[in-house]
Chain A
Amino acid sequence: MRLTCLGERNGVVEAGEPACHLLEICDTRLLLECPLDLSALSYFLPTLLKRPEMVLSSNTKATGYDLKHGDAKTSSIPSRNYEPEHAYEHGSSSHIKRQKLLSHSDADGVASHLLCGLMRDWNAVNGSSPYKELDGQILIEAEPWYKTADLGLVDIPLLDAVIISNPIGMLGLPFLTRHPEFSAKIFATDATTKCGQLLIEELLSSHNEYVQLYGRSSIGKAPPWLELKHIAKLPSNIKDALYGVNGSTRANWHPIYSVADVRECIAKISRLHYGEEASVDGILVLKPSSSGFGIGASNWAMTVPWSRLTYIATSMRKSGSAMGLNLSALKGNQILLLSDLQASKMSNANPLATFQKTIGGDVDDPRASKKGSLRIRAQRFWPRRSAIGSTSQPSGDIISKQIQPCTVSPLISAEPLQATAMGSTEGTPQLQSVTSGRFLDVKWSETDIKESISTLAKEVKSAVSAGGCVLIPISPSGLIFELIEEIALELRSATVGHIPMFYVSSAAEELLAYSNIIPEWLGPSRQEKLYAGEALFGIAGLLKEKDLIPLHSLQTPEFLKLWQEPCVVFAAHWGLRMGPAVHLLHRWGKNMDNMLVLLEPSLDIQLALSPFQPLAIQVLRLAVISGLRPKEVPWVIEKLQPMFTLVPEFLQQSLSLNTEVRNPTSMHFYSSRQSVFLQDFPEEMQVEMSPELAANLKPKQLKTGKLTVAQLTADLCTKDGHWSLQMPKSSKNSLGSSQKYGCCWGVVNVLALVTALKDCGLSDLSVTKIDNDQSINLGNSPLEEVLNFDKVFIEIYSPSPASLAITSKATHISSDDPALRHLVTDAVSRSLERF
């Protein structure tokens, strides 16, 4: 068995990054998951800035816009009629005017906005650099491309199967299936396929909207930002994040797939139920079981004739409404492969840490002073705001104290998003460009998901009660149903009148309808609703009451008809770079009454928000845990009792310190782009023997003991993972078999031997029998007498001399001629009477 880890970021397997492995077992090559590195999307600008002068001209406007919003603090609910504030036509999107009214203003707004945010070309000399520096972050100004795992290490035509465990693992699949030589089977549960399809289609539609607004920046050729000359100039941390160490992952970038690619990809998937067995080429049998990570999400048991493997993909010990983690279906397998684990600190990663890292790189920059001055200039454009309405800070001050949230539940830790200690050495206010009203980090409760969600819902309620709008960028997953339910519950108790919820995504309508027809994929409490004849989620009722309104996009006529603020919006986002969430964040970002909820733990908040700065919006983060945490690994091992456990290398330390693993299992650690070998360790394999074959066996009783033995020549056959021994089809000479095993059994039949030798043309020979010390020369035609003997000599005279000395237990062959020796040996082995 060989496992090759194909996921990479910064050269190590990192938590939060979807895993991707190549598993070779029993001559079967399996690709485990085919995800995209969505975190890489955040390195793109959410818009394209075509002409520098155009951007400059909008500079003052943007400032005005900004100040206006600042003034409108007391009554900041934006107008219902979404008129563009600046009638300004973006060059690349002048067509389709009527429908794009909103988006035009948005595109314009975003563009003008960026200018405030200290934007400059990364390459000061070459103005046409594809990179822009913005708010201390370096971003790509180009149509987004997508980064897969190291599929270059996979020999695509030789791939036998692809296993997809959850929608995230499906995002990169069309890149694989559109390969002309791809012929593997694809396995996923029915629900994963459906959710994955919705996710992929949402990505496509978000991307198409982007292209419609800003045009294509590259068609059919490698874009400038992938050119080595540009890459070389980047700071190493960005370089590594985008292109891997030494540019190793540069080839992992792909332009978006087409609708046809997606259609063909989905059609190729074999859709399974939980517990349904599927075989790959009749040798490997797969069986998915629920992983608790979401609707349809699965782990897999794989069985080959001599070993069984458990593949644990992204799993959650405590699940929401989806069916829970089912470990009992995976018990008794020798190998355990744990993938997609959370790093120990992941659930509560300090967003400032990454921020600091980026800035640290910048301090040495000789252009730092220039940048500093730019920043000070920029400072003047926007007054700093805070949740308690503090006035703007003097530009030279270090912000040491930030606003605390009004209500702090035990689950919430509030911290200012501003860096306090950073950049203070020079006394220049380097980093104050990152602003937000307040930043809440809601800890994802490990024990009670409902509690985390209800905390979130309460925050949403208080924001809405204060007249703000709430934006929840989200991807179509099971979590959205629970959030909608819980928030609806809170809103109903709010006293501010009817506040609608919108779900803006191309997947919205279908996903919400889908939520009501999936009882088989849900946990026991939701299944009870089926038996009670109730809707599985409260969503059906919300839709009926128009409390929840699905919108395909912000460009539809329904939008203008139904839109109403304040409201709570769930919106597709794609790294806060594409999709309706981008437009809404731009629209609401300046108002501190509004709230932005970020759910993805892998999202680098500083990076993701940088194009939108300055922001006054409250940011609430609920880093939803996805994947088992390291401290749960011993628990899983304890439950499954594998002989071998494969875990990512970054866990090596935390696991070796952990003494909880009571049952010894041999641990192996895998790391990116490395292969881990496990010697095949077969256990006894039980097969069926066909009655005909059994009847054909000729067992002989051995003299010693009660053992009977028989020589077996058969065909080992397999069908759908079911193995059996059948009558041999080919009549291969079974007698040759002894030679492969370097061992002979039985007694030489001298008569048969002489005949065999003569058949080879070795007739010039003489046989001498020694019996009771009497030597009898039998010439070259021995009689039956040779059946009983002590010893027989056979001399061969031509073509070259050779001699054989034969006893009942042994034969010695002397010959210097290799060809002759081979003939003689063959004759001896054929004349051995076995059993």
Chain B
Amino acid sequence: MKIKCVPLGAGQDVGKSCVIVTLGGKMIMFDCGMHMGYQDDRRYPDFYRISKIGDFTQAIDCIVVTHFHLDHVGALPYFTEVCGYEGPIYMTYPTKALAPLMLEDYRKVTVERKGEQEQFSALQIQQCMKKVTAVDLRQTVTVDNDLQLRAYYAGHVLGAAMFYVKAGDSTIVYTGDYNMTPDRHLGAAQIDRLRPDLLITESTYATTVRDSKCAREREFLKSVHKCIDDGGKILIPVFALGRAQELCILLDDYWERMNIKAPIYFSAGLTMQANVYYKLLISWTNQKVKDTYVTRNTFDFKHVSPFDRSEMDAPGPCVLFATPGMLSGGLSLEVFKHWAPSERNMIILPGYCIAGTVGHKLMSGKPTRIELDKRTQIDVRCQIHHLSFSAHTDAKGIMDLVRHVDPRHVILVHGEKPKMATLKNRIMTELKIPCFYPANHELVEVPSHCIFKVDLSNRFVMHHLIDDVNDSQNSQNLSAPMDDMLETADGSSSIRNASSYSLPPTQVRTHVEGIAVNENSLRIKILHPIEAQACLADMKHDVSFSCFQTIFVEANGHGRLVDIGEKTILHSLYLELVKWVGNAVSREEDCIIGGSFCMRLCKGSVTQNGSEGQSESEFNHGIKDRDIGDSISCNPSSSRQKIEVECNWCYEDNSLANRVMGILRTLNLKLQQCLITGSSQCKESTNYHRY
């Protein structure tokens, strides 16, 4: 079985994440993102590589979206509403709630942009989101009988998840973006040691190792405070969700502590609305935020108010969070035009800026003049601050995750090619795991690990794992003398105990034995040996036994046994055995049987036996030169006499036979009055004795 993986986006690149994976006969699309750096066809993944005729619903079994960032969900409405994909789509509750906000925000920005035609309408976003199935963390979702998936907490942004997918016997983990360290409002990524065939991980910071976040936060707050004290205005271009909330928590808290009066603004409407969602979804944040929801919801910011355009040129210091991030247009760019020329003001760029955006230009060097388009140029005199805390994990985090998940293969996506190469080498050398970082549209095939599935028969399972009822019934006769004891004594194996095997709750390893049967190279089936008898009939080897046993009989005051009669003796023997083995034996006309076990009195041992003295030679007709005389000491003066029985049985009934033989050997049969006078009266007199 092979797992095939083709990145349609985010292969040796950041932007438009979209990875197609075929495993276990299923095709899954992980993320359906757009590229913010392009305005042409290149902004979307090339979906027609999946199906030339465009029958995506048929081709793809499901789409999994990891989080609400546009480079992961941006192309989804286009794919469902324009390309016509109608199959299942999965994302977490927060992603389903928040992705439409991001999409709507983006749509507005593009519409506002000159000459730009919208890719999808507001209605199409809504219709698209209706098709989404929301999932909870760690919930095992069954897509169909052979396809299951499960979300794990990924940090990064609210609702971000890694997805584990199992199709047939093949398994894969796709991380999306994740953060291995908690931040102001989110926890760190959490996943089990899943040992999948393939791990596809992001590698944004493939070579970066970051220092403590606290120091960077302090530095950020210090520069903000200084700027405010100097009467400057601070612009923080952000996307509506994610970084905006994290920085807001940070500033709101700082404002409270330092008693700062300068207003913090959120660009009105959308970003304020986003906080409402965050309040509802507080159970997806970190423990610290969750713990305080009763007294005050962390996203009820005290110092934050909505921004009015008229305040753009109002005097006095302020902080403004404005969308979109990267200064790619909209309000943030408009405000930038107003505020950039003043040295007192400050632009804070949090996080990554894609090439082609104003944000990217600001980050690369310190420009003094920026050309927005042919007619507009802006003098940039304000301070520019780049905030390097990112919601992505660093190289150490990636290595930790790979080590923890312990996959058989790794594929790197969502990163920059040279850095990915470095990380790939680290994974191959340090972790000894094969690693790949395909470019877009480049196919990687990895084998899914070879597993043999076998069926265990009912009986096999019962025998090894369930306390067998019959066995436990048998074991109630433990006090009976048994030849079985010898078996355990000689140390060959504890046979009896093994047959009543019961799995202790904590035991995770049980020794089992059985017969593996394979018919016409279909699946292997493991049978209990007894079940295997049918197909192994011609292999069977019958083992049978025969044996003689001397029994002492006391018939007090009733003379010779010959007078008593074989049947009476047999019956009293039977009654004696029943005491020990219950209904495992039954009585026939002239023998006692139990399965293949059969016991009868030796011919002549009663009728011709006058006294002990004579009996010796009569008994020895079975096997020549038997030497039993020495072991028997008899007292001629007592009424104790000997009889001999012959037993035959097959291997199957060995344990019953051994038990019976043990009983007989130590038996001192006392014939009762009633038995001697006649077996027909036996019942009555037994009853009499009871009264």
Residues in A lying within 8 Å of B, measured CB to CB: 26-28, 160, 190, 272-277, 281-283, 287, 305-306, 509-510, 513-514, 516-520, 527, 530-531, 533-536, 679-691, 694, 697, 699, 702-719, 725-726, 728-730, 732-734, 736-748, 800-801, 803, 809-816, 818-819, 821-823, 825-826, 828-829, 832, 834-835
Contact = CB atoms under 8 A, between A and B. Distances in A.
Given A688-B454, A814-B623, A816-B547, 7 more contacts: A160-B505, A306-B465, A687-B454, A716-B465, A744-B651, A811-B541, A818-B658
Task: Tell me if A's interface is mostly helix, strand, loop or mixed.
Answer: mixed
B520 A706 contact: yes
B452 A706 contact: no
B511 A732 contact: yes
Nearest to B276: A533
B661 interface: yes
Given A306-B461, A747-B541, A825-B543, A712 B516 contact: yes
Contact of B536 (A513, A709, A734): A709
B654 A742 contact: yes
B536 to A, nearest CB: 6
A686 B543 contact: no
Closest 10 CB pairs of A and B: A275-B139, A810-B542, A741-B529, A742-B652, A689-B452, A276-B138, A737-B513, A682-B458, A745-B539, A736-B493
A512 to B, nearest CB: 9
A815 B467 CA distance: 34
Interface of B: 93, 96-97, 100, 129, 134, 136-141, 273, 276-277, 279-283, 293-294, 297, 450-458, 461-462, 464-467, 469, 483, 486-487, 490, 492-493, 495, 498-499, 502-506, 508-520, 524, 526, 528-530, 532-533, 535-536, 538-549, 622-628, 651-655, 658, 661-662, 665
Contacts, number: 297
A574 B96 CA distance: 41
A689 B453 contact: yes
Contact of B623 (A513, A712, A801, A826): A801
A576 B451 CA distance: 62
A273 B139 contact: yes
14 contacts: A275-B136, A276-B138, A517-B281, A533-B280, A682-B461, A688-B454, A742-B654, A803-B623, A809-B542, A810-B542, A814-B547, A815-B545, A816-B623, A832-B541
Given A276-B138, A530-B97, A742-B651, A736 B509 contact: no
B136 A684 contact: no
B378 to A, nearest CB: 35
Contact of B517 (A708, A718, A811): A708
A688 B169 CA distance: 10
A704 B498 CA distance: 33
Contacts of A800: 627
Nearest to A740: B499
Given A273-B139, A513-B293, A822-B487, A725 B518 contact: no
Contacts of A697: 516
B138 A743 contact: no
B652 A519 contact: no
Nearest to B595: A742
A204 B277 CA distance: 34
Task: Tell me if B's interface is mostly helix, strand, loop or mixed.
Answer: mixed
A743 to B, nearest CB: 6
A682 B464 CA distance: 12
B654 A516 contact: no
Given A276-B139, A801-B625, A801-B626, A811 B280 contact: no
Residue of B513, B517, B518, B653 with most partner-chain A CB within 10 A: B513
A330 to B, nearest CB: 12
Contact of A743 (B277, B529, B546): B529
A262 B567 CA distance: 73
A825 B654 contact: yes
Given A519-B281, A709-B517, A813 B544 contact: yes
A812 B649 CA distance: 10
Contacts of A517: 279-283, 293
A282 B508 contact: yes
Contacts of B518: 699, 707-710
A712 B515 contact: yes
B456 A687 contact: yes
Given A510-B294, A687-B454, A814-B546, A736 B495 contact: yes
A509 B297 CA distance: 13
A743 B456 contact: no
Nearest to B151: A273
Nearest to B662: A818
A287 B294 CA distance: 30
B215 to A, nearest CB: 33
A531 B533 CA distance: 63
Nearest to B496: A740
